Amino acid sequence: MKCSLFNTKTFSSSTMAEHIDGNRLQLDLRYRFDYLAKFLNFTSDDIAMLNTFAPIVFPLIPVLSDTVYRKLFSFDITKQYFLIRNEGFEGFMPRKQCSITLDSAQMAFRKDMLSVYLKRILTQGDWNDAFLQYLSQVGKMHTNQAGSGAINVDYIHVNTLLAYLEHLLIDVLCNADTTDDKTKRGILMAINKFFWIQNDFFTMHYLIEANANSTADSVKSETKKSSKCCWL
């Protein structure tokens, strides 16, 4: 049995390709989302599926949030980020990893933030510009691009966290006995598409950060070169 990523019955070499402006993808968030949505076939039906999933997962959000942070606490490389003060949190901050607990005020604050995030993405009916900016800001705040509110987490941890969170939601869905198989399939596809879109919004900011660092390094390198050989 042959398997192809592209269905030749649907697409042919003579099909007119839609033009996508590569520069605009980097500058216009709505344009970028529209491209992702077209490529992934993410439609209003997927949004409706996420909304349908909301009442199923809402009662379990506190457990999901706690599970996520327990996972992050299980590795020292991810636990270290909780020594950084969150923007908006004004309580006591421990200075050593051994002093951090899942029940601390800082962790309760972060769990609340995750809960708010999950509730919003599952109940949002209109993916307007304000909502896209929210998804973008979630990504931006984990890099050094957000100023004083930046956490600056290495991307590998963000990638694994998004995957882990998706798996938790899929597990909830699979155990939803009152949901028929057709609806489950629709929700599963919607969850998967959403996380790829959210992941792209993270990646977008990490690439901006990487390009900025590369430019800065190039300037420093050129400055060093000119200082050694410039005679004027």
CA gap 57, 54 in Å, rounded: 5
- pLDDT tens track for 102-129: 888 888 989 999 999 999 999 999 999 9
Find the angle CA(32)-CA(39)-CA(165) to the nearest 5 degrees: 80
CA gap 41, 18 in Å, rounded: 15
Whether the CA torsion 95, 98, 102, 105 is positive or negative: it is negative
- Burial of residue 165 (CB within 10 Å: 0-12, 13-18, 19+) is buried
Q: Find, among 120, 92, 119, 124, the residue nearest to 107 by Cα.
A: 92
What residue ranges define each of the domains in the chain, with the CATH number in brackets? 28-211 (1.10.490.10)
Torsion from C-alpha of 89, 93, 95, 98, nearest 10 degrees: -110
3-state secondary structure the chain: CCCCCCCCCCCCCCCCCCCCCHHHHHHCHHHHHHHHHHHHCCCHHHHHHHHHHHHHHHHHHHHHHHHHHHHHHCCHHHHHHHHCCCCCCCCCCCCCHHHCCCCCHHHHHHHHHHHHHHHHHHHCCCCCHHHHHHHHHHHHCCCHHHHHHCCCCCHHHHHHHHHHHHHHHHHHHHCCCCCCHHHHHHHHHHHHHHHHHHHHHHHHHHHHHHHHHHHHHHHHHHHHHHHHHCCC
- State residue 212's pLDDT score: 62
- State residue 82's pLDDT score: 85
Q: Is the CB of residue 121 less than 8 Å from the CB of residue 50? A: yes
- State residue 2's pLDDT score: 57
Q: Find, among 169, 174, 227, the residue nearest to 198 by Cα.
A: 169
CA gap 137, 77 in Å, rounded: 23
- pLDDT tens track for 59-77: 999 999 999 999 999 999 9
- State residue 219's pLDDT score: 45
Residues of the chain with pLDDT under 50: 8, 85-93, 97, 148, 215-219, 221-232
- State residue 193's pLDDT score: 98
The residue written with tokens 């049995």 in the block is 1
The residue written with tokens 């003579």 in the block is 14
